Amino acid sequence: MSNVQKQDLVLFSDSSVISKELCTGKSHDLITITSSPATSSFWLLTTLVETRLTGAPFSLNSTSVPVVTHKNMNLITIASFIHNAQYYTDALNRLKLGPESYKYIDLLTNFVIKNIGKPRAKVLSELLEKFPQDSTSVVILEQPEVLLTLLDGLTSDELHRKFIMPLMQRCGLLIISTNINYSPNGQTKDAIEFSRFVAGCFYKSIAVLSLKPLDTGRAADVTGSFRITRGGASNSHLSCHVVENEYLYLNQKENTKLFYR
């Protein structure tokens, strides 16, 4: 694969990853990232954080990294249900992004101890309060579907209506990373709630990014495919559009490279 031309990551037609037209304070948009347990989206999330803070995914395109000068914590907020602060701090430090340049909300550590037994609506509204009210900011939310397993009786609709939608309203761009590790055709109530949750995210999204392993299984020189497609939401408020694309990517030793398929 070494002779194959490396590609730069582009999501929008203005050759950007996070377009300038997003997060202007006038619109609220959603990008959904789906990943499988075999192809974790963590590298993509850190890349997006980097893009937001430095302007471009330098580590991915392996051009020289400019020094981050601003200290605005509201530029990007990261919230994760499966990783704690340390994990992100370590990974972002490696990209020379210090903890003062972003806000981290730890939804893993002691989440259960603090929240189980409370009414669902209260848990969700308290969660919401943790996020800054700033319609120019970006929020990355990792695996919110975990809530469906933790809060007894929570339905996908309730999660969307009481958490995802209000959170979209609070920020300029919400990026949800969700793990697709179940088949969409499950017939049990829980399985339906999970599928419904993802479908609900798709309808709200302007773009959907999917990471999945190759159908042929493991390969030494390809980790998986990375597909960028339009979502169900209207993008008529933007002058740029989502550039649909499919890359092959190789994630190795904390480095990721993109190739055209």
Partner 1 sequence: MSTSLHNPSILLKRVLSLADFSPLVLAIDSIAQSSCKLIEEVYYNAKESGDFTIIYISFETANEPSYADIFIRAEALSLEKLSQTIQSYLPPSNRPTKSKFLVVIDSINHISTNHISQFVGSIASLHSTLLAVYHADLPEYQEKTLAHYPSSIELLNFMATTILKVQQVTSKNATEEEIENDLSRFLIPRGLNNDIFKLTLTTRRKSGRSQSYSFHINTKTHSYETIIASSPADGEGNENPEMLQGLSTFNLSTSAKQKMAKEQVELPFLEAQSFNTGGAIVYQFEKDDDYDEEDPFEDPF
Partner 2 sequence: MSFRKRGEVINGANSGVRAVPGRTPVARPTIPTGRTPTVIGGRNPVVHSPSTLADRLDRVSIRNEGKKTDERESLDANHPGVKPSPATSHQTTSTGSFHLDKVLGHSGLPLGNSLLVEEQGTTDFGSILCKLFSSQGIVHNRIENSVTSGNTHLIVLSINQGFAKELPGVYKGSRKDIRKSKIAEEEAKVTVQNLTGKTNAARSNDLKIAWRYGLGNESSDKEGLGKPNLNDENNYSHQFDITTRLMPAPSASEITFISPLQPVQVVLNQVEQAIKKQSGKIIRIVVPSLLHPAMYPPSMFNLAKIMPILHGARSIVKNYGSRCILFASVSSDLLDELLLTQIENTFDSVINLEPFDQEMTQLLERAYKSQPNKIQHGLLHIMKLPIFSERGEMHVLKSSYAFKNGKRKFEIEEWGIPVDDIEDTEKDTPTHEHAGVEHKTDNTKVSVEF
Tokens 């042929």 found at = 216
- Cβ–Cβ < 8 Å for 44, 103: no
204 counts as binding partner 1 under rule CB under 8 A: yes
83 counts as binding partner 2 under rule CB under 8 A: yes
Tokens 């190789």 found at = 250
Q: Report the C-alpha dihedral over residues 96, 23, 104, 194, rounded to 10 degrees.
A: -120
37 counts as binding partner 2 under rule CB under 8 A: yes
Binding mask 218-247 for partner 1 (x = CB under 8 A): -x-------x-xxxxxx-xx------xxx-
Stretch that binds partner 2, among 3-11, 54-62, 68-76, 184-192 (CB under 8 A): 184-192
117 counts as binding partner 2 under rule CB under 8 A: yes
Tell me the C-alpha distance between 139 and 92, whole Å.
16
- Cβ–Cβ < 8 Å for 141, 30: no
Binding mask 9-28 for partner 1 (x = CB under 8 A): ------------------xx
Q: What is the CA radius of gyration of the chain?
A: 18
151 binds, among partner 1, partner 2, none (CB under 5 to 8 A by kind): partner 2
Residue type, position 189, single letter: K
- Cβ–Cβ < 8 Å for 30, 201: yes
Tell me the C-alpha distance between 59 and 67, whole Å.
13
**Strand order from edge to edge, sheet including 29-35:** 6-7, 255-260, 245-252, 224-230, 207-212, 29-35, 171-179, 134-142, 76-80, 103-106
108 counts as binding partner 2 under rule CB under 8 A: yes
Stretch that binds partner 1, among 93-101, 144-152, 208-216, 249-257 (CB under 8 A): 208-216
- CB of residue 51 vs partner 2: minimum separation in angstroms? 16
- Residues interacting with partner 1, by CB under 8 A? 27-30, 34, 157, 160-162, 165-166, 168-169, 180, 183-185, 189, 192-193, 195-196, 198-200, 202-204, 208, 210, 212, 219, 227, 229-234, 236-237, 244-246, 261
- Residues interacting with partner 2, by CB under 8 A? 37-44, 81-84, 86-87, 89-90, 93-94, 96, 98-99, 108-113, 116-117, 143, 146, 148-153, 179, 181-183, 186, 188, 190-191, 194, 211, 213, 217-218, 223-224, 251-252, 254, 256
